């Protein structure tokens, strides 16, 4: 298994541009998450999904959108990028009941985004 993959690894955006951060997992996990990690800070939940077609807001959803059309993919959309969105973005997934430890979240390698 490739686990949780994210693309791109790095990206520089100009203020007002838009982009989509890609996240995919090949473990058939229903639960997926998007976090942002600002320098010297912990992770903050942006959006999460409990299965295809179901998404919900986390702690810091403003300025972002998500969709979950398949179990494997959970893209994060940034519209009208702002400097405050400069951060490292992590996608994560966790097993379903019966697949293993359902509490453990598996993280992707992250996307480092700079908005200037």
Residues that bind other proteins (CB under 8 A): 31, 33, 40-45, 48, 50, 56, 58-59, 90, 102-105, 107-110
CB of 107 to other proteins, least distance (A): 4
Between 81 and 89, CB nearer to other proteins? 89
Q: Kindly state the smallest distance separating residue 102's Cβ from other proteins, in Å.
A: 7
Q: What span, in angstroms and rounded, lies between the C-alpha atoms of 95 and 9?
A: 24
Handedness of CA 95, 101, 103, 104 (dihedral sign): negative
How far is Cα 116 from Cα 110, in angstroms, rounded to an integer? 19
- Residue closer to other proteins (CB basis): 13 or 91: 91
Q: Is the dihedral of CA 74, 75, 79, 82 positive or negative?
A: positive
Of 4 and 115, the one with the shorter C-beta distance to other proteins is: 4
Q: What minimum distance in Å lies between the beta carbon of 26 and other proteins?
A: 16
- 14 vs 41 by CB, closer to other proteins: 41
> Helix (H) and strand (E) counts for the chain?
0, 11
Q: Are 5 and 107 in contact (CB under 8 A)?
A: no
């Amino acid at each position: 298994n490739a686990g949780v993959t994210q693309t791109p690894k790095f990206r520089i955006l100009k203020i007002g541009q838009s982009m989509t951060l890609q996240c995919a997992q090949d473990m058939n996990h229903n639960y997926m998450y998007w976090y942002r990690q600002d320098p010297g800070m912990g992770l903050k939940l942006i959006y999460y999904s409990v299965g295809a077609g179901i998404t919900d807001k986390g702690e810091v959803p403003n300025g972002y959108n998500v969709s979950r059309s398949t179990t494997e993919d959970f893209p994060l959309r940034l519209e009208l990028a702002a400097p405050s969105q400069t951060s490292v973005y992590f996608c994560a997934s966790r097993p379903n009941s019966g697949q293993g430890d359902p509490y453990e979240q598996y993280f992707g390698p992250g996307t480092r985004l700079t908005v200037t």
